[in-house]
Amino acid sequence: MTTGTKGVFIQKLNGAFYIVVLISLFACNQNQMKNTNQNTMKETTVNEELVKQAESDLLTGVSKAVCYSGFRSGQHPDRGDGAANPSNAEILEDLKILSDQCGFGLIRIYDSGENSEMVLRIIKRNNINIKVMLGIWLRAELSNHETCEWLTEPIPETELQKNKKLNLLEIEKGIKLSNEFKDIVVAVNVGNEALVEWNDHKVATDTIISYVQKVQKSVKQPVTVADNYKWWADHGAGLAKVVDFVSLHIYPVWEGKDINEGLSYSVENLMEVKKAIPEARIVITEAGWPSVSSEFGGRASEEKQLQYYNEFMAWTAKMNITTFWFEAFDEDWKGNPNDMMGAEKHWGIFTVGRTPKKVAQQLFVEQQHEKGK
């Protein structure tokens, strides 16, 4: 199987046969998924009226979206000694895969740094049919060493003060990019999991509120904050009154669930937020299932990733909730460098080498079907 942009799914000599086989596998899988979905959905219909949103609540009118970070092997964001970013050609290849071959018209990127600016410029220069939720990454302004298991000692006050200055610079960059690429950037996210107790880049809620308000005054796009569903349910009522919509993350596998509980537990998570903040317009900015994981053993696989994708994305589409699948491509810079099978490296629907997993294979067939209509 080739892995270039044009041939990522098709064998050059036997392309027609490969597509036929893939379609056959897809049809069989759809029959299996239909039966699974029917059984699971019976358990959730009673709660749908409390969760279902209006079509106008969809972000830029779409339900299916994906988180994108294009770092390949040997590449990484700035971890203190500078970034090793993807090239323009590599980013262009990725965006064409996501748009042309997988049918994604909305992606989420996580910061307003050099790499994100490259993504926006490449979308504009090549007229790619993709809109963007732009991130503003916040560094630690509080030392969370008492509740974050991988912070073994307090973060020095000098570093925290430096981070605050860097955060203000990041906010200005985000504002600039949002205004410069106003036809591409459809929403701005201030901080990613900077509020939960277990993070290593904690920022006070009041500070984040002030940052949100600063951005809101400076851009036309809606502004949000992305964090774990449990934080929103337990502590998010005040922040929910400030943001333009609530952005939450859902990961049943991290909470000990296997695939047979994936959809039902995810619905419970959403219900918990809705009960706590009933007026909230919700966007799910991360939800996913790893294909490989040393932490989860048999609970992680391509088959289970495909099942969760099909079940959850179908349900959120029915509920008019924009959902960013986490994530597009595996990233081997993440997690423990001594554990290449760690879950953090394997959430993508493609491998780090851009080989399609089962979800991506299915999306390719669906996209071919759409183009053939």
H-helix or E-strand containing 39?
helix 15-44
pLDDT above 60 for 7? no
Nearest Cα residue to 318 out of 258, 270, 254, 247: 270
Token couple for 87: 């090239």
Q: Where are the alpha helices (DSSP H) in 126-261?
A: 157-180, 205-216, 229-235, 237-240
Q: How far apart are CA 331 and CA 335, in angstroms?
A: 9
Sign, Cα dihedral of 226, 229, 230, 236: positive
Exposed, middle or buried, 123 (CB in 10 Å: 0-12/13-18/19+)?
Answer: buried
Write the pLDDT tens digit of every residue in 275-332: 999 999 999 999 999 999 999 999 999 999 999 999 999 999 999 999 999 999 999 9
Task: Give, to the nearest 10 degrees, the angle between helix 302-318 and helix 358-372.
Answer: 50
Sign, Cα dihedral of 309, 314, 317, 321: negative
3-class secondary-structure state, position 66: strand
- Domain regions of the chain by residue span: 15-372
> 3 and 353 in contact (C-beta within 8 Å)?
yes
What is the per-residue burial (b if ≥16 Cβ within 10 Å, else e) of 175-190?
bebbeebeebbbbbbb
pLDDT value at residue 14 = 36
Write the pLDDT tens digit of every residue in 147-202: 767 677 888 999 999 999 999 999 999 999 999 999 999 999 999 999 988 788 79
In the chain, the amino acid numbered 92 is: L
Q: How far apart are CA 205 and CA 246, in angstroms?
A: 14
Residue, of 95 and 49, whose pLDDT is higher: 95
Phi, psi for 135 (deg, rounded to 5): -95, 150
Q: How far apart are CA 45 and CA 52, in angstroms?
A: 11
pLDDT above 70 for 31? no
Distances (CA, A) of 332 to 72, 327, 341, 361: 7, 13, 9, 21
Query: In the chain, pLDDT over 90 holds for what percent of residues?
Result: 78
List, in order, residues 6 or more apart from 138 with CB less than 8 Å away.
167, 170, 190, 191, 192, 194, 201, 203, 208, 211
Nearest Cα residue to 224 out of 62, 108, 69: 108
Q: Domain 15-372 adopts which CATH fold?
A: TIM Barrel (3.20.20)
Name the DSSP letter for residue 72.
-
H-helix or E-strand containing 323?
strand 323-325
Instruction: Report how far Cα 215 is from the mean position of its chain's Cα atoms.
Output: 21
Max CA separation in the chain (angstroms): 62
Token couple for 10: 């098709």
Q: Which of the residue ranges 16-25, 240-249, 257-266 would you say has the lowest mean pLDDT?
A: 16-25
Q: How far apart are CA 167 and CA 214, in angstroms?
A: 12
The CB-side HSE value for 194 (13 A sphere, CA atoms) comes to 26
pLDDT value at residue 147 = 72
List, in order, residues 6 or more apart from 55 with CB less than 8 Å away.
61, 320
pLDDT value at residue 200 = 83
pLDDT above 60 for 6? no
Residue, of 6 and 47, whose pLDDT is higher: 47
Res. 20 pLDDT band, cuts 50 70 90: very low
Distances (CA, A) of 26 to 74, 304, 359: 34, 15, 10
- Look up tokens 């050099």; give the residue: 114
List, in order, residues 6 or more apart from 312 with CB less than 8 Å away.
262, 263, 266, 287, 323
- Look up tokens 């000692």; give the residue: 153
Token couple for 252: 């049943």
Q: How far apart are CA 309 and CA 301, in angstroms?
A: 12
